[in-house]
């Protein structure tokens, strides 16, 4: 794999020489979700909360997972009110319910990233003192670190995209600020990820497309993140989960992109294709193992205000009761322009990423255009909107979107180039119409 060049604007006086890597235990394959009762019995858990959302609850998967625990002497209760794209209000409601009906020895999240993130917040705030905003990343929240260990969390994804089963992040919308942000700490990483591709077959085409773009951007952003050696040397207690591009995260990102090349379009167009579904589930897991350590950057920083300030856009195959820009879609909409911006930090890495994502793509005359061309061709094929304008934004929204993106300094610090407000504004403006 190509080595990252050191950006000229990231030259530390005392460069970091250590990178870290963390991941949950993993159980992968059809039928893996049938073994969760046994897995939890090995922890000594006797009372477990299963967290899901109404749509996933309707499939019967969460109740089936709960029912199988009984033969291991485990009482399982299902909480089915997690919100798709969680908000501070929905997380506070879930925490209050769990506190009232607890205590709990362990948690199981069955669903997409929204259910997994809700379970992370519930686990955090039933194991530690304080309230939700105390732990939300600064400057939006208090940025407090948990003082107590969390109870074991088993994450069971039913969508292929977020990688939340592998990561240390809980993402939420803060409604009063109209911004999406998160809680980040190593203790939020699930103890066990159970990835059963059979659970993803009911995922409709629109959800497959949007969540798949989240996989793709996780892999791309971690692969193009600033190298870990460009950070200042830290003491052990100062190190954070996002440590920059490194050889192990690169390996997972490259494999995720290769899997996407052969499965993404097929999974969207033919959701019954078991092999494509399995490859997408594997890609999501691998990308999560990569970005959960290296980090993500500009597309994700932009995505938070794009999703948080939604006006009246209703995506295909998502709940129709309220406007929403799904997370993976909001990430994708500025990705082509973001990677034009980062190209100079490491041209060869951007070119290799394009080749991994589409080995048959013809090289563009201008190398800078190769990766954006591959991305926009894919987005058109899987029916992702043609830019920010297609989801309801216009030039007048750019200042507010810039303000929201610039609050995501934890993410922007991972970019391979320094990012100013003017840079973000330019990326957003050029993303209004991508084709």
Q: Which residue has the higher pLDDT, 180 or 330?
A: 330
Give 34-84 pLDDT, tens digit per residue.
Answer: 999 999 999 999 999 999 999 999 999 999 999 999 999 999 999 999 998
Give 44-58 pLDDT, tens digit per residue.
Answer: 999 999 999 999 999
Q: Among residues of the chain, what percentage have pLDDT more than 70?
A: 98
Average pLDDT over residues 10-31: 88
The torsion angles phi and psi of 409, rounded to 5 degrees, stand at: -65, -30
- For all residues of the chain together, what is the average pLDDT? 93
Cis peptide before 240 (omega within 30 of 0): no
Distance CA 44, CA 250 (A): 36
Distance CA 235, CA 244 (A): 16
Is the predicted pLDDT of residue 6 greater than 50, yes or no? no
Average pLDDT over residues 205-233: 95
Q: With beta carbons less than 8 A apart as the criterion, state whether 112 and 152 touch.
A: no
Is the predicted pLDDT of residue 8 greater than 50, yes or no? no
Q: Which residue has the higher pLDDT, 111 or 319?
A: 111
What is the band of 7 on the pLDDT scale with cuts at 50, 70, 90? Answer: low
Q: What is the DSSP string of 132-143?
A: HHHHSPTTTS--
Q: What pLDDT was estimated at residue 9?
A: 65
Q: With beta carbons less than 8 A apart as the criterion, state whether 256 and 283 touch.
A: yes
Is the predicted pLDDT of residue 360 greater than 80, yes or no? yes
The torsion angles phi and psi of 3, rounded to 5 degrees, stand at: -90, 145
Token output for 248: 């192990």
In which residue are the tokens 């009762």 written? 37
- SS (HEC) of 375-411: HHHHHHHCCCCCCHHHHCCCHHHHHHHHHHHHCCHHH
Give 394-404 pLDDT, tens digit per residue.
Answer: 999 999 999 99
CA nearest neighbour of 155 among 129, 206, 189: 189
Q: What pLDDT was estimated at residue 376?
A: 98
Average pLDDT over residues 216-233: 96
Q: With beta carbons less than 8 A apart as the criterion, state whether 384 and 332 touch.
A: yes
Distance CA 170, CA 184 (A): 7
Q: Which residue has the higher pLDDT, 425 or 139?
A: 425
Q: With beta carbons less than 8 A apart as the criterion, state whether 113 and 121 touch.
A: no
Give 281-308 pLDDT, tens digit per residue.
Answer: 999 989 988 998 999 999 999 999 999 8
Average pLDDT over residues 391-396: 98
Is the predicted pLDDT of residue 4 greater than 50, yes or no? no
Q: What pLDDT was estimated at residue 301?
A: 96
CB-based burial label for 14 (10 Å; 0-12, 13-18, 19+): exposed
Distance CA 145, CA 142 (A): 9
Q: Is 8 helix (H, G, I), strand (E, B) or coil?
A: coil
What is the band of 173 on the pLDDT scale with cuts at 50, 70, 90? Answer: confident
State how far Cα 126 lies from the chain centre.
23
Q: Which domains does the chain have, with CATH numbers?
A: 31-195 (3.40.50.1970), 205-430 (1.20.1090.10)
CB-based burial label for 410 (10 Å; 0-12, 13-18, 19+): buried
Is the predicted pLDDT of residue 10 greater than 80, yes or no? no
What is the band of 167 on the pLDDT scale with cuts at 50, 70, 90? Answer: confident
Q: What pLDDT was estimated at residue 3?
A: 47
Note if the pTM is more than 0.75. yes
Distance set, CA 177 to CA 13, 302, 326, 425 (Å): 37, 15, 18, 19
The pairing of strands 192-195 and 179-184 is unpaired
Q: What pLDDT was estimated at residue 112?
A: 87
Give 125-161 pLDDT, tens digit per residue.
Answer: 999 999 999 999 888 899 999 999 999 999 999 988 7
Average pLDDT over residues 320-326: 88
Burial call 197-206: b when 16+ CB within 10 Å, e when fewer: bbbbeebebb
Q: What pLDDT was estimated at residue 220?
A: 98
Q: What pLDDT was estimated at residue 205?
A: 94
């Amino acid at each position: 794999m190509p080595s990252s060049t050191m950006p000229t604007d990231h030259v530390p006086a005392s460069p970091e020489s250590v990178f870290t890597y963390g991941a949950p235990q993993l159980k992968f394959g059809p039928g893996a979700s049938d073994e969760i009762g046994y897995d939890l019995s090995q922890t000594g858990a006797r009372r477990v909360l299963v967290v899901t959302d109404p749509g996933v609850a309707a499939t019967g998967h969460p109740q089936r997972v709960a029912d199988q625990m009984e033969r291991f002497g485990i009482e399982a209760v299902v909480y089915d009110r997690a919100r798709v794209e969680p908000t501070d209000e929905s997380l506070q409601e879930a925490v209050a319910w769990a506190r009232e009906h607890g205590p709990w020895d362990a948690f199981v999240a069955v669903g997409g990233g929204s259910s997994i993130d809700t379970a992370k917040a519930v686990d955090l705030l039933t194991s530690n003192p304080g309230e939700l905003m105390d732990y939300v990343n600064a400057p939006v929240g208090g940025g407090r670190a948990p003082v107590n260990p969390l109870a074991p969390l088993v994450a069971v994804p039913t969508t292929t995209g977020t990688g939340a089963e592998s990561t240390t992040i809980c993402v939420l919308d803060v409604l009063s600020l109209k911004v999406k942000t998160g809680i980040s700490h190593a203790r939020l990483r699930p103890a066990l990820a159970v990835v059963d591709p059979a659970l993803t077959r009911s995922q409709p085409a629109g959800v497959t497309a949007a969540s798949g773009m989240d996989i793709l951007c996780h892999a791309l952003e971690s692969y193009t993140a600033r190298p870990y050696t460009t950070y200042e040397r830290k003491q052990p207690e100062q190190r954070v989960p996002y440590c920059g591009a490194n050889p192990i995260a690169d390996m997972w990102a490259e494999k995720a992109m290769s899997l996407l090349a052969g499965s993404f379009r097929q999974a969207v167009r033919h959701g019954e294709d078991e092999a494509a579904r399995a490859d997408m589930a594997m890609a999501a897991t691998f990308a999560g193992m990569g970005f959960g350590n290296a980090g993500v950057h500009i597309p994700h920083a932009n995505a938070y205000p794009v999703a948080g300030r939604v006006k009246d856009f209703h995506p295909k195959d998502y709940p129709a009761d309220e406007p929403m820009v799904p997370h993976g879609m909001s990430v994708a909409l500025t990705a082509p322009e973001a990677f034009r911006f980062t190209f100079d930090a490491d041209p060869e890495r951007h070119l290799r990423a394009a080749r991994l994502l589409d080995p048959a793509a013809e090289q563009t005359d201008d190398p800078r255009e190769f990766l954006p061309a591959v991305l926009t061709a894919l987005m058109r094929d899987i029916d992702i909107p043609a830019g920010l304008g297609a989801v309801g934004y216009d030039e007048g929204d750019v200042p507010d979107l810039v303000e929201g993106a610039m609050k995501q300094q934890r993410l922007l610090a991972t970019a391979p180039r320094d990012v100013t407000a003017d840079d973000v504004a330019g990326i957003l403006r050029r993303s209004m119409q991508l084709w």
